[in-house]
Amino acid sequence: MIDCRTTLGIGLAGTCVLAVVVWLISVKRHDVSIVDSAWSLLVLVPPLTAAARLPAMELRGKVVLVLAGAWALRLSAHITRRHRGEPEDRRYREIRARNEPHFAVKSLYLVFGLQAVLAWVVALPLVAAVAGAAAWRPLDAAGSAWAVFGIVFEAVADAQLARFKADPAQRGRVMAQGLWRYTRHPNYFGEFCIWWGVWLCALSAGAAWTVLSPLLMSALLLRVSGVTLLERDIAERRPGYREYVRRTNAFFPGRPRP
């Protein structure tokens, strides 16, 4: 058993160190979009530091750590590939314009510091599951299965969208195939499933209080940086999107409406 406060503190420190390293790279590149590629890796730091402090891990911890690693590495690689050769993301250009002069310095706390703290909060159930001493329970199996479902769902959605965007014949059209036929944001729904599944494992380890993590992630996906932000002006930029909205659920998958 390890001291919880010390473990969480070390995890936060490690996350902040990585955030500073990524910030320095962003200053050199004049592009803070790199934080998106680093986001999942920031989340991975706290459970890794917790695992490093343990003399041995229960099965729950090993399973959750493998799932977290698979999620983090895939998502980081996907976002890195997607952004390669592209200019700074429009969201960050807007933040930059509002905070000049000296945005390079301000971005350390406006972007990277904020992301580090959010990543640490999101990682709380991972740390609890990795460090938990309780034996494996059926709830762990349910949570792990739900997280695996979310990881696969998100990966398939991302792959489908990448193929769609790579097809010149689809330029300017709305993606409404595969999983995108049943929800306008299948990748976000997959992410939602991952964090509620991980929380079930933390709950099994006796850390119900870490529900703050999936609640925060749900709010981000549904109301802050996910669905709401992405759909703010997409109808003006994509002909046919209003019709897609009319017949397709925003978040939770469902049959397309006639």
Residue 230 is predicted with a pLDDT of 74
DSSP assigned state of 136: P
Q: What is the CB-side half-sphere exposure of residue 135 using CA atoms within 13 A?
A: 0
Rounded to the nearest integer, the mean pLDDT of the chain is 93
% of the chain at pLDDT higher than 90: 83
Residue 137 is predicted with a pLDDT of 96
Mean pLDDT of 233-253: 85
Lowest mean pLDDT among 2-11, 32-41, 46-55, 212-221: 2-11
DSSP assigned state of 134: S
Residue 120 is predicted with a pLDDT of 98
Examine the pLDDT at 133 and tell me if it is beyond 90.
Answer: no
Mark residue 2 as left, alpha or beta (left: phi above 0; alpha: psi -120 to 50; beta: remaining). beta
Mean pLDDT of 111-128: 97
Mark residue 85 as left, alpha or beta (left: phi above 0; alpha: psi -120 to 50; beta: remaining). left
Please, which residues have CB within 8 angstroms of residue 250's CB and are 6 or more apart in sequence?
183, 184, 185, 227, 231
Lowest mean pLDDT among 5-9, 65-69, 224-228: 224-228
Q: How many CB atoms lie within 10 A of CB 216?
A: 16
Examine the pLDDT at 48 and tell me if it is beyond 60.
Answer: yes
Q: Where are the domains of the chain?
A: 4-247
pTM: 0.93
Name the pLDDT band for 71 (thresholds 50, 70, 90). very high
Residue 179 is predicted with a pLDDT of 98
**Residue bearing tokens 């680093």:** 38
Lowest mean pLDDT among 42-51, 86-95, 158-167, 210-219: 86-95
Residue 239 is predicted with a pLDDT of 76
**Residue bearing tokens 């997607």:** 82
